[in-house]
Amino acid sequence: MVLSLPQNVKTVIEILEKNGYEAYIVGGCVRDELLGRTPKDYDITTSAIPEQVKKVFRDYKVIDTGIRHGTVTVLVNGESFEVTTYRKDGAYSDRRRPDSVIFSSSLTDDLSRRDFTINAMAYNPREGLADPYGGQGDLFRRKISCVGEPQKRFGEDALRIMRALRFASELGFKLDDGTAEAVHYMKDLLKEISAERISKELSLLLCGKEPFEVLTEFSDVIAVIVPEIAPCIDFDQHNRYHMYDVWTHSAAAVARSVPDPDVRLALMLHDIGKPFCLKKDDEGNGHFYGHEKLSADIAENVLRRLRFPTDKIERAAKLIRYHYITPVDDEKVVRRLLSTLGDEDFFLLMEVMKGDNRAKQSFCYERVRVIEAMQATAQKIIGENQCIKISDLAVDGNDMLELGYSGKAVGDILDVLLEAVIDEKLPNEREALLRFARERFNVSE
């Protein structure tokens, strides 16, 4: 087994070895190298303790990242590498992190504390692959399996439950039977994990390759971190546009959308209020009037509790609030949406709406075409620098002050002018806008 490693990585390993220490790349980068994926970064594990690492790299810039945990960051040609001493974890009493970290002289000790077999491999150009837990076999079988006994490992650190789902989605793997069983059984331990750590894994899960399988097979686990989805699971929509229950539809919408974290987060929660809005008509068809507003409100609560950043929460709520608009490819409609939402959120909304419609009956695909046409229309509007914002108007606040407007009335009249221009009732020309504003002023006096 020979992996071709980047030169900077080889340099770090060579320097440690030249000084008599063992050194391997370890964890995610070995997994990704074996899968032919480009690793996000290369972590290095070594028999040297942090003081020794610092001494060996005295001619390089070294940062004390987590000395107590055995990690120093070494910069080689501007690239940073975390170099961590072989470790053995002490007892876990808080289900989050070990009570103590013990340095070890054995690579196998270090690999034994890692979460999954596919993440518990190390590689060194001279020694080849170290794979004491069968990670390579699991990569081949496309399985996520705990190192050691799953219940014990999830009991030590419940975040591993979310990580198992996240890797399954990212890689398109299945959980090994024992690992899956333990995930279902131990799921409630996730309540003890910090919201920040959960939401980071959730975002990665959503943006993975196969989120549908994970979100549906492990909906009970997702419901521990987002109890608000529980009413959606198996909730029949009684509606001819839908062939899925609310949660399966949401999971399908996530999976059939672009892998953008804002789009997918919004889609996971876009119908979360539906079970509370069902009204059946005389023929027994389900309708969900106002579900987009209620879903946006519930989503805001969920995301605040999961400690997502405020701008992400606001964006998700906005995308959910607008997801149910009827797609119409008309320049006026598109211009108005661009004006109301801003460019960036407009295009995200279109992706949300495409994901949503791809997860309905096949005849809804027609709407996807309309949404794509709206995207092209928006590109044209932007390309032509058409007027969609107050600052695009051929007049400004000073002009309105000169006409006699003051205070709040200045902003109000500019809003009126913008609307008229967007709706093509007025051209965006200075004289026409001033004339209109002057006439309005005389009327309002």
Residues that bind ligand ATP (CB under 6 A): 27-28, 40, 43, 114-115, 119-120, 157, 159-160
Taking CB within 5 to 8 Å according to partner kind, which of ligand ATP, Mg ion, none is near residue 157? ligand ATP
- Closest CB to ligand ATP among residues 152, 240: 152
> Nearest approach, Cβ of 63 to Mg ion (angstroms)?
17
| Distances in whole angstroms, Cα of residue 24 to Cα of each of 31, 59, 136, 250 | 13, 21, 16, 42
Residue at shortest CB range from ligand ATP: 28
Q: Out of ligand ATP, Mg ion, none, which partner does residue 54 contact, by CB within 5 to 8 A per kind?
A: none
Helix-, strand-, coil-residue percentages of the chain, each rounded to 5: 55, 10, 30
Helix (H, G, I), strand (E, B) or coil at 99: coil
Longest dimension (CA), the chain: 89
39 makes contact with Mg ion (CB under 5 A): no
159 contact, one of Mg ion, ligand ATP, none, CB 5-8 Å limit per kind: ligand ATP
Instruction: Identify which of residues 203 and 248 has a Cβ nearer to ligand ATP in the complex.
Output: 203
User: Whose Cβ is closer to Mg ion: residue 261's or residue 342's?
Assistant: 261
Q: Residue 371 binds which entry of ligand ATP, Mg ion, none, with Cβ cut-offs from 5 to 8 Å by kind?
A: none
Give the β-pairing of 23-26 and 122-124: antiparallel
Q: Is 28 in the site for Mg ion (CB under 5 A)?
A: yes
- Read off the amino acid at residue 144: I
Which of the listed partners (Mg ion, ligand ATP, none) does 360 bind, with a CB threshold of 5 to 8 Å by partner kind? none
Nearest approach in angstroms of CB 139 to ligand ATP is 12
How many CA atoms lie within 13 Å of 281's alpha carbon, on the beta-carbon side? 8
Task: Return the number of the residue (28 or 50) whose C-beta is nearest Mg ion.
Answer: 28
**Chosen from Mg ion, ligand ATP, none, partner binding at 115 (C-beta under 5 to 8 Å by type):** ligand ATP
Indicate which of Mg ion, ligand ATP, none lies near residue 126 (CB less than 5 to 8 Å, by partner kind).
none
**Residue 28: CB minimum distance to Mg ion, A:** 4
The residue (of 121 and 413) whose beta carbon lies closer to Mg ion is 121
The angle formed by the CA atoms of residues 30, 35 and 40, to the nearest 5 degrees, is 55
Please report the beta strands in 28-99, taking only residues with DSSP state E, as ranges in sequence order.
43-46, 61-66, 71-76, 79-85, 87-89
**Least distance in angstroms from the C-beta of 44 to Mg ion:** 12
3-state secondary structure (DSSP) of residue 388: coil
CB of 157 to ligand ATP, least distance (A): 5
Q: Which stretch binds Mg ion (CB under 5 A): 23-31, 220-228, 311-319, 367-375?
A: 23-31
321 binds, among ligand ATP, Mg ion, none (CB under 5 to 8 A by kind): none
395 binds, among ligand ATP, Mg ion, none (CB under 5 to 8 A by kind): none
Q: HSE of 311 in the Cβ direction (CA atoms, 13 Å)? A: 2
**424-to-68, 208, 386, 388, 434 alpha-carbon distances in Å:** 66, 43, 11, 11, 16
Between residues 200 and 358, which has the closer beta carbon with respect to ligand ATP? Answer: 200
Alpha carbons within 13 A on the beta-carbon side of 434: 11
Amino acid at 358: R
260 Rama class: left (phi>0) / alpha (psi -120 to 50) / beta: beta
Instruction: Between 28 and 275, name the residue whose CB sits nearer to Mg ion.
Output: 28
Tell whether the torsion through CA atoms of 271, 273, 275 and 281 is positive or negative: negative
- Of 28 and 211, the one with the shorter C-beta distance to Mg ion is 28
Question: Using alpha carbons only, what angle is made at residue 389 by residues 386 and 394, rounded to the nearest 5 degrees?
Answer: 70
E strands, 121-210, are 122-124, 128-130, 143-144, 174-175
- How many amino acids of this chain bind Mg ion (CB under 5 A)? 1
**Under the rule (CB under 5 A), what is the footprint of Mg ion?**
28
